[in-house]
């Protein structure tokens, strides 16, 4: 199973011909791309913005279109500071899930408008940085026992062809980054006639939100950052230890729960025993992929089990099932893990990976190194070390080499590796079992946000807002009174985590 998808597992302008000239933000209505929830009125349209706002990096095709949806408040006199949702990824589609998002944010609509948009290069925005053959390659790897190096060779070949096509179509890949994204947010606010907004970012959306707070602070009334990714972390080095810490939290939570410990003793040992067995002798499993309706043959090795556990810890609803999945795997039953892998591949079509890599290779990898990644592996279980390196030193260089191909020697300004300093009222949220954006990252971001509040929610994974009513209540409280600490009594009232199959 390839690491490329695994490890990484979101203003409408009237533009004149040159970037240096002034442009006026205007809204051009268009048909909506989704069916809104009942009794929610939505206006959709496009924005035309410069692909590059830096005239030195602009070209003859320096124009892109952003797809925007404005959900109108249910109040006859809505407040003039809407909520704008900043999706994850980078590369995640928002508008295809517009109905879900507006249902989830329905209480925002009681007295405020809500803005959804597909970020540049993504979804319904134009151009879309999309290469469908990349998903076909991921499916092809399911039953393939190619080595880590062989997989990366095929991945590089497909991405090189993808890059060639995008460049031939006039795409300037270096302009698909957080700073340009943040300027798009500013222009959306202007185009829709607002002075300020409340930012609501999840995952990469928090990185984008912090960039808006840094570059366009006058447009931000408050910010909610859920599952925080600050720019001043070394992602590629810390991701490795985040895996280990998240797994440790799961193993410890089960050991400290009497019923779980009785039903699933020595969970860590059992997990890594399965990983070792499957890495030594992978199993070919026939499995029905309910998401595409296809019966598939899947090569199950230890790396797939590691990846699946990591991905499942994103989903709060799956965390209670994980001890039983681990014990099932020890007995040769992999349904819980394989179902996740099929869902992960299916939803990959709703993430535009060229956008992901353009952001990553421009503003994250230039501040990383083989040495820092190697240092992050120290003291980790050997199974995780092998997972990240493909069992060789060459594995440490794989993504660095990929970025050299994708972005060349272009790199972001060093400010993209620095902490964001801001007085804007900010609420930062973390889930206890989040495997990718832990509480420590939220605390790090808060160090330079003096008007911020940080909370961790027990039993939750990635994206606390979408997992529990408690963070939803606190966010609503905060938006109403961003200068005051929100009431957190509901955290103590959250139901305890109950592991499925424990004590039964």
Distances in whole angstroms, Cα of residue 237 to Cα of each of 234, 241, 376, 378, 388: 6, 8, 5, 10, 11
The answer to whether residue 202 sits within a structural domain is yes
Residue 4: per-residue pLDDT:
36
- Other CB atoms closer than 10 Å to residue 216's CB: what's the count? 15
pLDDT digits (tens, 9 = 90+) for 227-286: 999 999 988 788 888 989 999 999 999 999 999 999 999 999 999 999 999 999 999 999
Does the pLDDT value for residue 2 go beyond 60?
A: no
Query: What is the structure's pLDDT at 146?
Result: 79
Confidence of residue 5 (pLDDT cuts 50, 70, 90): very low
Reported as a single tens digit per residue, the pLDDT across 322-352 is 999 999 999 999 999 999 999 999 998 899 9
What CATH number is attached to the domain comprising 192? 3.40.50.1820
pLDDT, position 116: 98
Q: Could you tell me the pLDDT band of residue 113, with boundaries at 50, 70 and 90? A: very high
Query: What digits encode the pLDDT tens for the residues 412-441?
Result: 999 999 999 999 999 999 999 999 999 999
Q: Average pLDDT, whole number, for the chain? A: 91
Q: How many domains are there within the chain?
A: 1
Percentage of residues in the chain with pLDDT exceeding 70? Answer: 94
Contact 95, 65 (CB under 8 A): no
Q: Which helix (H) or strand (E) holds 375?
A: helix 370-376
Edge-to-edge strand list for the sheet holding 452-457: 28-30, 42-49, 64-71, 114-118, 83-86, 197-202, 220-226, 426-431, 452-457
Residue 51 lies in a domain: yes
pLDDT at 456 over 80: yes
Structure tokens at 152: 């990366």
The answer to the question of residue 444 being in a domain is no
Residue 456 phi, psi (nearest 5): -115, 140
Q: Is residue 44 part of a domain?
A: yes
Element (DSSP H or E) covering residue 65:
strand 64-71
- Residue 401 is predicted with a pLDDT of 86
In a domain, 26, yes or no: yes
- pLDDT score for 235: 85
Q: What number of residues does the chain have?
A: 504
**What average pLDDT does range 6-18 have in this prediction?**
31
33/70 Cα distance (integer angstroms): 12
With 70 as the cut, is the pLDDT of residue 471 above it? yes
Helix intervals (H) in 390-458: 394-407, 439-446
| Spatial distance between the Cα atoms of 239 and 384, rounded to a whole number of angstroms | 11
- Bridge partners, 46 (sequence order): 28, 67
Q: Are 222 and 476 in contact (CB under 8 A)?
A: no
What's the rounded mean pLDDT across residues 351-371? 91
Owning domain of residue 221? 10-129+171-226
Within a domain: residue 292? no
Query: Residue 478: inside a domain, yes or no?
Result: no
CB 443 within 8 A of CB 397: no
Tokens of 274: 């399965």
In a domain, 386, yes or no: no
Instruction: Render pLDDT for 380-423 as a digit per residue (tens, 0 to 9).
Output: 999 999 888 876 666 667 788 889 999 998 999 999 999 999 99
Q: Above 50 in pLDDT, residue 17?
A: no
């Amino acid at each position: 199973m390839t690491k490329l998808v695994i490890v990484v597992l979101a203003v409408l302008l009237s533009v004149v011909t040159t970037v240096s000239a002034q442009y006026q933000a205007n809204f051009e209505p268009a048909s909506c791309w989704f069916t809104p929830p009942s009794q929610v009125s939505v206006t959709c349209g496009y924005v035309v913005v410069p692909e590059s706002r830096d005239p030195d990096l602009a070209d003859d095709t320096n124009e892109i279109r952003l797809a925007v949806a404005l959900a109108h408040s249910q109040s006859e006199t809505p407040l003039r500071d809407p909520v704008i949702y900043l999706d994850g990824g980078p590369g995640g589609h928002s508008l295809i899930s517009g109905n879900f998002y507006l249902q989830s944010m329905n209480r925002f609509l009681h007295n405020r408008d809500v803005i959804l948009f597909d970020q540049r290069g993504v979804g319904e925005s134009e151009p879309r940085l999309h290469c469908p053959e990349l998903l076909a390659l991921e499916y092809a790897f399911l039953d393939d026992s190619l080595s880590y190096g062989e997989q990366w060779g095929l991945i590089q070949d497909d991405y090189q062809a993808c890059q060639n096509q995008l460049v031939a179509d006039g795409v300037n890949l270096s302009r698909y980054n957080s700073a340009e994204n943040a300027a798009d947010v500013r222009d959306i606010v202007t185009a829709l006639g607002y002075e300020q907004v409340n930012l609501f970012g999840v995952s990469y959306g928090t990185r984008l939100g912090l960039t808006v707070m840094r570059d366009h602070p006058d447009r931000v009334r408050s910010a909610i950052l859920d599952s925080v990714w600050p720019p001043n972390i070394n992602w590629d080095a810390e991701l490795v230890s985040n895996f280990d810490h998240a797994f440790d939290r799961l193993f410890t939570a089960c050991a400290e729960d009497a019923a779980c410990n009785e039903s699933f003793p020595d969970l860590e040992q059992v997990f890594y025993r399965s990983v070792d067995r499957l890495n030594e002798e992978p199993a070919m499993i026939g499995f029905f992929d309910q998401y595409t309706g296809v019966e598939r043959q899947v090569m199950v090795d230890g790396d797939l089990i590691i990846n699946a556990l990591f991905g499942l810890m994103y989903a709060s609803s799956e965390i209670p099932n994980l001890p039983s999945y681990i014990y099932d795997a020890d007995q040769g039953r992999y349904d819980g893990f394989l179902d996740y892998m099929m869902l992960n591949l299916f939803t990959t079509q709703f993430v535009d990976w060229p956008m992901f890599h353009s952001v990553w290779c421009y503003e994250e990898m230039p501040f990383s190194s083989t040495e820092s990644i190697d240092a992050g592996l120290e003291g980790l279980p050997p199974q995780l070390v092998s997972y990240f390196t493909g069992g060789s030193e060459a594995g440490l260089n794989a993504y660095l080499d990929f970025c050299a191909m994708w972005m060349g020697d272009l790199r972001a300004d060093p400010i993209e590796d620095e902490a964001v300093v801001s007085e804007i009222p900010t609420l930062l949220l973390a889930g206890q079992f989040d495997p990718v954006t832990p509480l420590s990252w939220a605390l790090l971001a808060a160090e330079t946000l003096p008007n911020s509040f940080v909370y961790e929610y027990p039993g939750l994974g990635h994206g606390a807002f979408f997992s529990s009513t408690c963070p939803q209540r606190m966010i609503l409280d905060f938006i109403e009174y961003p200068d005051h600490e929100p009431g957190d009594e509901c955290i103590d009232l959250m139901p305890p985590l109950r592991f499925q199959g424990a004590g039964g």
